[in-house]
Amino acid sequence: MEGIDRSRRRFLGLTAAVAGLALLPSAAAARAGLLHGWRGTALGADACLRLVHPDAAEARRLIGLCLAEVARLERVFSLHRADSALVRLNRDGRLDDAPADLVRLMAEAAAFARASGGRFDMTVQPLWALHAGHFAQAGADPAGPAPARIEAVRRLVGFQAVEIGAGRIAFARPGMQATLNGIAQGYITDRIVELLRQEGLDDVLVDMGEIRAQGRRPDGRPWQVGLDDAGANGPLALTGAAVATSAATGTVFDMAGRFGHLIDPATGRPGALWRTVSVGAPTATTADALSTALSGMPGEAAAALLSRYPGTTAFLTGADGRTTVLGMAAGG
């Protein structure tokens, strides 16, 4: 299952309806001058940084480095910018000067696609565009695009038809397009954490659409993230870990809210089986991709996929509000 913005993934966006993800900061630490932060947007989504540092000027410098890196990665992954590498790939069907970050992330996306049996598929963009375009029309059929049209567009979908090489990416079928909305904000979060660690900073909380924590808060306690839809299982204490949430109705195509943005590549139609899926994992890239893939998978299949990724936990909340826990938190 791949999709666009899950509430952060607005009509093109990169990341999720974070109905469920709330940062729990330490006001005392902020008053003590140890906790420094920034809030803004990254790839159209709400974003923030929190870092622990005794020197305010140095903290500002580090935040500036992070924002420059986010801007650089937006020029790679954005679907809004006409000059981004991903937009150029979708327009031309190939990219012979592909940035290393795009090659790396598309290779990782292909690996998640294989592991999930195609539930996560970066080439689902034409189907998303079909549904968005259909419901943007006045008097659109509330039943959605015509089945024949869906089937025609579905033939453009298939991660196996993406050729990824050193500095080169190409689509094997004319008309194919890719979206990295189910993984890119996790990837950007990881890159920012890596940048700060290279600068010698160990205590940070980074949210570039998905959340990852390193070290601890100034008071020595773990960073915490609230999971509103995980019942008694939240909040999560994060130390050297990440969390991502995917919500079926974080973004919807139609006014009635029947057609969510998470599309099943096998049917060409929206097909989330869970109201929300939250995943804890060692990296934000993994958490992001798995939260998207698991949204369309029944319990047994979800457990099988999660078992392939050590150190992961999933909270699957159904329409009835009941939450199933898989992985480490369930004793798996």
Which segments are annotated as binding site for Mg(2+)?
Answer: 182, 288, 292
Pinpoint the alpha helices (H) of the chain. Answer: 27-31, 56-77, 85-92, 100-115, 125-136, 147-154, 184-198, 284-294, 299-306
Q: Do 38 and 63 touch, CB atoms closer than 8 A? A: yes
167: left (phi over 0), alpha (psi -120 to 50) or beta: left
Angle in degrees, 0-180, between the axes of helices 100-115 and 85-92, rounded to the nearest 10: 70
CB 205 within 8 A of CB 223: yes
- Within 10 angstroms of residue 298's Cβ, the number of other Cβ atoms is 11
Starting at the earlier edge strand, list the strands of the sheet with 35-42.
Answer: 35-42, 45-52, 204-207, 211-214, 241-247, 276-281, 313-317, 323-327
Residue list, annotated binding site: 182, 288, 292
Q: Return d(Cα 282, Cα 243) in angstroms, integer.
A: 9
Cα 107 from chain centroid (whole Å): 16
Residues 6+ apart with CB under 8 A from 310: 282
CA distance 172 to 174: 7
Determine which helix (DSSP H) or strand (DSSP E) holds 163, and give its type and residue range: strand 162-165
> Would the CA dihedral through 150, 251, 192, 243 be positive or negative?
negative
